[in-house]
Amino acid sequence: MPLIIQEELPAFEVLKQYAFIIGKKRAIHQDIRPLEILIFNLMPVKIDTENQILSLLANSPLQINITFLYTASYIGTNTPKSHLDKFYVNFKDIKGRNFDGAIVTGAPVENLCFTEVKYWNEFCEIMDYLKKHSTSTIYLCWGAMASLYYFYNINKISLKEKMFGVFEHIIINDDLILSGLSEVITIPHSRHSGIDEKEVEKSLDLKILLKGNISGITMIRDDRDFFILGHPEYDKNTLYTEYKRDIEKGMNIKKPYNYFNKNNEPILSWRSHSSLLFINWLNFSVYQDTPFVL
């Protein structure tokens, strides 16, 4: 929960640059309610992704109400239909609702042109809706690439080999969402595509936040939304599960970079970074900025 101090206190101006604080004048007028967060889950094994994202959001002391969304134009077979019927809604069910924040996941459709994806039109309609009805949205991996293409015409580029493993990043520009994070930040990546970084650097509307020597530009923001090309939500064994799956398919795949120890055991090196990243997003980009009286 935020620290409440007087606006006139000298520490107020200092702390507001990096800490979760609000002034007493604002605090006494707050009507506390749960935050409404939408999770647009495009991953095939939806239950695993639910567990990963919810475990990060649960680290915040804020009350959060979750709505799960999936596409009506394409229904995968890796998640039981009974689960979707019970816990998920379609776009038609949320029209007219406002959300304090939203998270859009990645999807295993990187080898397709965006317009060839079966649910592309529905995806675009939902992105347009979130621009008006979500205070801030985090787009992950393919979701980030797709939204950058749709909103800013940033092209996707096929990589010579899969960006697969845990990579180090440095902060390029300060931002409240990065408050308290180490100077070197680890994030898992699992993707066959990247983005045209020259187009990102030319854009006056985009601000580069994180970049890695190997992984390249990994985190970007505009005036309200965040685009993360990696998978900060991944748990300890996700990369191992993907690696084992690809090996069993007979694919020529290298071991995940910087992931196994000398005994070939996965090392969870990014959890604290990911946890703070999502908490900062909730605190600074959602809780303090939401304009909605729901």
Instruction: Report helix, strand or coil for 41.
Output: coil
Q: Which residues contact 104 (CB under 8 A, 6 or more apart)?
A: 40, 42, 127, 130, 137, 138, 139, 140, 143, 147
What are residue 158's phi and psi, to 5 degrees? -70, 135
**116 tagged catalytic:** no
At 137, list the tokens: 């949205």
Q: Is 124 a catalytic residue?
A: no
Question: Which is catalytic among the residues 133, 233, 242, 273?
Answer: 233
Whether the Cβ atoms of residue 218 and residue 230 lie closer than 8 Å to each other:
yes
Looking at 141, 169, 189, 273, which residue is catalytic? 141
User: Would you say 62 and 290 are in contact if contact means Cβ atoms under 8 Å apart?
Assistant: no
Number of Cβ within 10 Å of residue 121's Cβ equals 11
**Which is catalytic among the residues 133, 169, 189, 231?**
231
E strand or H helix at 192: strand 184-195
| Per-residue CA distances from 289 to 21, 35, 229, 236, 283 (Å) | 13, 12, 24, 32, 9
Where do runs of H (alpha helix) occur along the chain? 10-15, 24-27, 46-57, 81-87, 91-94, 120-133, 142-152, 197-202, 238-248, 271-280
DSSP state of 33: -
Which amino acid, one-letter code, is at 249?
K
What is the set of active-site residues?
Answer: 141, 231, 233
